[in-house]
Amino acid sequence: MHEFVYFSNELDFPLPDNITHTNDTSTKAIISNSKKIECEIYAPEIDFYIKNSKDTVLNKIDAIGKLYEIRAVKLDNAKYNEYQKEIGNRVLIIGTKEEAEKINPENFEVYYALPEWIKEIKGTIGNLEFTIDKNGEIIPLVVDQAVWFNAAEIAYKQRGIIDPLDIGIEKAQEILNKRTGIYKYRNFITYDVNICQYNGRVLAETCGNCVDVCPTNAIMKIDEEKKLLFSHIDCDGCGGCVSVCPSGALDFSAIPRDTFIEIAKFYEGHIPFIIPEDLVENLDIKLKEKVLPLAIEGAKFLDENHFLTLFQESGSQIVFYTNRLSKGEKEAIKLINEISNRKYQKDAILLAENLDELKKALEEAELIPEAHYTTNTHNLKKRENVAIRLSNIIGEDDLGVIDLSGNKYIHYGKIEIEEDKCTLCMGCVSVCNAGALTAHPEDNSLKFDAGVCTDCGYCEIACPEKCINVIYDKLELNPQYFGQKTMAKDEPFYCIMCGKPFAPKKSIEKIASVLLPMFTDETKRKSIYCCEECKAKLVFNDYLERKLNAK
């Protein structure tokens, strides 16, 4: 098996040495430009680029090599897990009598219903639970799949329901057959529970964006436990949840963020043309010099981190062609374009949602060399990467303030702390999983970085002293906004036994004010002012003394 194969009967120019050219249909490849040979990855953007690009021959050779390498990077770094489930042969056909007769599924146990009979649907593929009201008779029906002509919106909340008017009768029957038996599927997203802005937040709900935008009920909130429940079999892989996740707790398995950073570096000196994979094959449009396509799965997963990374690594405006823009992508494009216009007087992303807009965008797109910035942000959180990149754009300038109060998903802000009230208990630090609030024992200080703050407000809710005030939805584009700032500081309190500093003075004074009235025992009262090691010694020695005195 060859790694890279270019299949064609003829070739007008040479290929890079690592790409095998063949017209033999028995050839096997890992990545190929054609479905005519057996390959793991079919890359339609290669032929699309060769057919439509106006690049010089030398630049084409280089670009084709990059397109193969990009596919290899995606393949090597995808974070898929493979799953399978046995699906039975029970199918429900929903539609008029004339419509139902168009479907003739062989070897299936078939049921029929009119659209108006459907009252409720639960479950998933392999176990779809329908509640049917047939002239007042309530009938529960469990099937494996369903075919629904002109499906109502409720149908798109479940996997396993096919609308032939969307995909055609022949395709619908093909899917029915393909899904019967052992149904294989994979996870399209990964989840980091440690930085989720919903998980474990019992005092108040500060997020739930992913659940709000999921079209298939693949993500659900368990409110009693404040946990998210994921059903990979129900996920259609759109990626919309990733684009609205404020902290980056959700990531797209096909192109994880670190992988996207690596891919973005291939586009230096090129105009990136982002296009969903399923739109590439049938697209016929000329590409001026330096335009290089980036075919993506999902099409809805892009957020401000992706756009900003590709914008800076390429040093170019980005053309984004899509017929299904996500809510998160819409806000991200608006934000990055606003920042770019303030700095470079040009949009960073040229959005095209139809062919006329695409033609115009491809004509207008140009390199912005002064925007080029490359850096190694692997293994950083989403917000950390964005903060580093925004800091580079701003430099020493003051580009004003962006009001984000109209946003539903992308939020930036900052906090103010009444330092005289703050006891440095660090309760706010313990609930800030974004890393915006951090404790610094070396100087008994509390620090805050607005650049990585998700503006959730949970620190304000959790603060026992009520001395934190969150300023919502104001992104300040100045150097002072980014980086850690000391919000509160105190002199250290020294252990009364060993003399070691172990806590801020205000914190100990606060604890003492609460516990001293409750403690009548002198040892307990004294233990308040001891470090952990000395506290244990004090209590243990008191125990021994009491035992000896008892004898």
**pLDDT for the residue 547:** 83
Judge if pTM exceeds 0.75.
yes
Q: By C-alpha distance, which of 449, 469, 446 is closest to 457?
A: 469
Pairing assessment for the beta strands 2-7 and 28-32 based on DSSP bridges:
parallel
DSSP code for 495? P
337/329 Cα distance (integer angstroms): 12
Q: What is the pLDDT of residue 157?
A: 76
Calpha distance 192→121 (Å, rounded): 30
> How far is 135 from 384, CA to CA, in rounded Å?
59
Q: How far apart are CA 487 and CA 24, in angstroms?
A: 68
Contact in structure between 295 and 44 (CB atoms under 8 Å): yes
Q: How far apart are the first and last CA of the chain?
A: 85
Cα distance between residue 526 and residue 424, in whole Å: 21
Phi, psi of 90 (to 5 degrees): -85, 125
Do residues 415 and 471 lie in contact, with contact meaning Cβ atoms separated by under 8 Å?
A: yes
Secondary structure element (H or E) that encloses residue 357, with its range: helix 355-364
Q: Is 298 left (phi over 0), alpha (psi -120 to 50) or beta?
A: left
- Check residue 550 and give its pLDDT: 72
Neighbours of 140 (CB within 10 A): 9
Instruction: Look at the chain and count its residues.
Output: 551
The candidate with the shortest Cα–Cα distance to 313, out of 342, 285, 292, is 292
Closest C-alpha among 129, 234, 135 to residue 185: 234
Domains of the chain with bracketed CATH: 84-185 (3.40.50), 187-252 (3.30.70.20), 401-489 (3.30.70.3270), 509-550 (no CATH)
- Residue 551: per-residue pLDDT: 63
Which residues partner with 317 through β-bridges? none
Amino acid found at 503: A
Alpha-carbon gap, residue 534 to 64, rounded angstroms:
68
Q: Where in 125-160 does DSSP place strands (E)?
A: 127-134, 137-143, 145-148
Q: What is the rounded distance in angstroms from the CA atom of residue 325 to the CA atom of residue 5? A: 33
Whole-number Å distance between alpha carbons of 304 and 308: 6
Q: What is the pLDDT of residue 221?
A: 93
Distance CA 240, CA 216 (A): 11
CA R_g for the chain: 30
Angstrom distances, CA of residue 353 to CA of 206, 210, 303, 325, 338: 32, 24, 17, 8, 19
Task: Please state, in angstroms and rounded to a whole number, the distance separating the CA atoms of residues 195 and 188.
Answer: 19
Task: For residues 55 and 43, give the distance between their C-alpha atoms in angstroms, rounded to a whole number.
Answer: 19
Q: Provide the residue-wise pLDDT of the chain in tens; the chain has 551 residues.
A: 899 999 998 888 899 999 999 999 999 999 999 999 999 999 999 999 999 999 999 999 999 999 999 999 999 999 999 999 999 999 999 999 899 888 888 889 999 999 999 999 988 899 999 999 999 999 999 999 999 999 888 887 778 898 888 788 888 888 899 889 999 999 999 999 999 999 999 999 999 999 999 988 889 999 999 999 999 988 889 999 999 999 999 999 999 999 999 999 999 999 999 999 999 999 999 999 999 999 999 889 999 999 999 999 999 999 999 999 999 999 999 999 999 999 999 999 999 999 999 999 999 999 999 999 999 888 899 999 999 999 999 999 999 999 999 999 999 999 999 998 998 889 999 999 999 999 998 888 999 999 999 999 999 999 999 999 999 999 999 999 999 999 999 888 999 999 998 888 888 988 899 899 999 889 999 999 999 999 999 999 988 888 887 76
What phi and psi values does residue 305 have, to the nearest 5 degrees? -65, -45
